Structure 1
Amino acid sequence: MNSYQHIIVGVDLSPESHQVIQRAVQIAKNHNAKLLLAHIIEPLAFAYGGDIPMDLTEVQQQLQAQAKTQLHKLAKQFDIAQTQCHLLIGQPAAELHQLATEHNAELIIVGSHGRRGFALILGSTANGVLHGAHCDVLAVRVKEQ
């Protein structure tokens, strides 16, 4: 098996993201690979199904600005260049697949809370990434902090 050259780590910016990034950094160092850090924001229209009769543009922009700040702060903590940070808008699994394709990534790393039962059946981001990826996917089991 060839070594990984391009790795994407998808984070949700929760406190558990540190665990996922730590594992990703370790793997990237072991393979001398380029590491991209990605966070995906679902549009508010997706979250509310367009049922709210108001303009959510300003709120969406504020969410994006806050996420960008948090993403860059995380990157700095792990010595990841801001140019390697990607803040995307859309459905998380689909955006990670697209980013992996664009950057010829051989590995996508995401966190998994290890949910069971209905939470697993209804799907998680890790599950969605796994089932549509054209490269390897590593789900890092995170411990809630």
Structure 2
Amino acid sequence: MLQQYHRIQVAIDGSSESELAFKKAVAVSKRNNAELLLVHVIDTRAFQNVSSFDSAMVEEVSETSKKTMAEYVKTAKDDGLEKVDYFIEYGSPKSILGREFPNREKVDLIMIGATGLNAVERLLLGSVTEFVTRNATCDVLVVRTDLDNKPALKADK
């Protein structure tokens, strides 16, 4: 019996890695007749260091995110995917993408881009992708190639 996925989560953060994950997630969702859930996390910890914290800043980031996510939904629908929606979450990307969102939304596959951080940044910050692969309770597919399965990411130097 072939594995059939029903609710596929893909993390969108504006990086080229998340773009690859998005494109593959659309293809996998179409093949599985699955619902695609696009998730963007606004890391609220980034605002804690801003001395002149202003709620207008959060609103501006939220509005930009909504427009970007709506474009992703349109792209997926233009490519023939019928069941697609987006979510904008606030908090820690690691815990939201790896635990909270997939559990709340009953996700059965997470597709996520390979880390865009360099080796030093991974050491200091930790990789969201690594956290998700270690902590998710559903299948996780880390995307490293384009739609033709050609390596699309540069190796760390």
TM-score normalized by the length of structure 2: 0.77
1:63 to 56, 61, 68: 61
User: In structure 1, how many angstroms separate the alpha carbons of the residues matched to 2:135 and 2:9?
Assistant: 15
Please tell me the root mean square deviation across aligned C-alpha atoms, in Å.
2.5
Q: Percent identity?
A: 27
- Could you give the per-residue CA deviations for residues 23-68 of structure 1, whole angstroms, max 9, x where no partner exists? 001111222211111111111xx125x3443232111110110011
CA contact (8 A) 1:5 1:31 kept: yes
Stretches of structure 2 that go unaligned for 5 or more consecutive residues are 146-151
CA contact (8 A) 1:93 1:128 kept: yes
Counterpart position of 1:42: 43
CA contact (8 A) 1:7 1:35 kept: yes
CA contact (8 A) 2:115 2:127 kept: no
TM-score normalized by the length of structure 1: 0.83
Deviates more, 1:78-87 or 1:6-15: 78-87
User: In structure 2, how many angstroms separate the alpha carbons of the residues matched to 1:54 and 1:92?
Assistant: 23
Stretches of structure 1 that go unaligned for 5 or more consecutive residues are none
User: In structure 2, how many angstroms separate the alpha carbons of the residues matched to 1:138 and 1:132?
Assistant: 13
Deviates more, 1:99-108 or 1:51-60: 51-60
- What is the number of residues matched between the two proteins? 142
Q: Deviation at 1:126?
A: 0.7
In the TM superposition, 1:1-145 aligns within 5 A as 2-43=3-44, 46-47=45-46, 50-79=48-77, 84-96=85-97, 97-113=99-115, 117-122=119-124, 123-141=126-144, 143=152
Deviates more, 1:58-67 or 1:15-24: 15-24
Q: Deviation at 1:113?
A: 3.9
